[in-house]
Amino acid sequence: MNQPLGSAPLPAPGPEDHVRGPSKAKLVIVYADYECPFCAVTELRLAECEVQICFRHFPIRSKHPRAWAAAQAAEAAGLQGRFWEMHEALFADQGRLEDPHLWARAEALGLDVERFDTERRSPAVISRIKRDFSSGIRGGIATTPTVAIDGRLYPGIPSPQLLADAQ
């Protein structure tokens, strides 16, 4: 069972955040990276719950060197209205996070691949990922995945009981 770390002064979701799920459902803020296998399990568990999810990037380059590029890909896809589709595609195939695979995903999603490639390296995308990461550091995030429910941090894969209680 996940044990909370305590209160987390994480910023409330704003218009720039990636949020999906029923608006009246319990909010779960997720700090994760796309190369972390535990984050992929968390993604699957959350997909089975009736919760509202706010996803924030927390690429830990020392453990997951391709996570930063994957976060850039998700954000660039988001600029073309396809963040969640890219998000799901990245978690579904974590073994292929290099450029040719990212371009292939962008093409499969119907994105303008040239625009995608340019925007994923843009200052706006880099700033966005840094903002998420910094908010996590300030809030006490130290590992991925970490979920925040009712202002309390739960590191590691959330237990089925924790998620059931969150619904």
Check residue 4 and give its pLDDT: 54
| Domain presence at residue 131 | yes
Residue 13 lies in a domain: no
Q: Is residue 144, in this structure, part of any structural domain at all?
A: yes
Question: How many domains are contained in the chain?
Answer: 1
Contact (CB, 8 A) for 75 and 129: yes
Task: List the CATH number of the domain containing 38.
Answer: 3.40.30.10
Which residue stretches of the chain have pLDDT < 50? 7
Does residue 12 sit within a domain? no
Query: Is residue 9 situated within a structural domain?
Result: no
Domain span at 131: 18-166
How would you label 13-47 residue by residue, b for 16+ Cβ within 10 Å and e otherwise?
Answer: beeebbeebeeeebbbbbbbbbbbeebbebbebbe
User: Contact 57/20 with Cβ under 8 angstroms?
Assistant: no
